[in-house]
Amino acid sequence: MLKIKNAAAAIPAQDIKRARQFYEQKLGLKPAEEEPDGGAMYRTGETGFLVFPSSGKASGDHTQLAFQVDDVASAAGELKSMGVKLEEYDHPEFKTHEGLVDMPDGTKGAWFKDTEGNLIALTQRVPAVTRSN
């Protein structure tokens, strides 16, 4: 069995300066570590993620990173005030209203894209039910 110490997402950026400007100015994050290639590791709570220079382009058609927040509506409002556009979805499973969705299980969410096309979610989760056997 692997002895995993920690895990982090790696988010590609075709323009690392532009991407870092987004994460630092729009989201208010500060790099915990800066890589020699211009990439940056950002810490969020007990976890973190790396934004790294890449020639690859994000598809933007699936969530690549999720930020858990206490209040999705409030966090989404902050993003909008910083000029971040929330994504709108109309799927059989869920439909967003002004960028926000309430899932049947009580989870709330919203999605937005960074400057590189990476799809990022905001989630307000409800506590999971622990089942005993």
- Residue-wise pLDDT tens digits, 40-99: 999 998 899 999 999 988 888 899 999 999 999 999 999 999 999 999 999 888 899 999
DSSP-based three-state secondary structure for 77: helix
The closest of 6, 5, 2, 4 to 47, measured between CA atoms, is 6
C-beta of residue 109 within 8 angstroms of C-beta of residue 101: yes
Calculate mean pLDDT across residues 127-131: 63
CATH number listed for the domain at residues 9-124: 3.10.180.10
- Residues 12, 35: Cα–Cα separation, whole Å: 14
Which of 3-7, 90-94, 125-129 has the least mean pLDDT? 125-129
Residues whose CB falls within 8 Å of the CB of residue 37, separated by 6 or more in sequence, listed in order: 16, 52, 53
Residue 57 phi/psi, 5° resolution? Answer: -115, 135
- Residues 108, 86: Cα–Cα separation, whole Å: 14
pTM value? Answer: 0.88
pLDDT at 63: 93
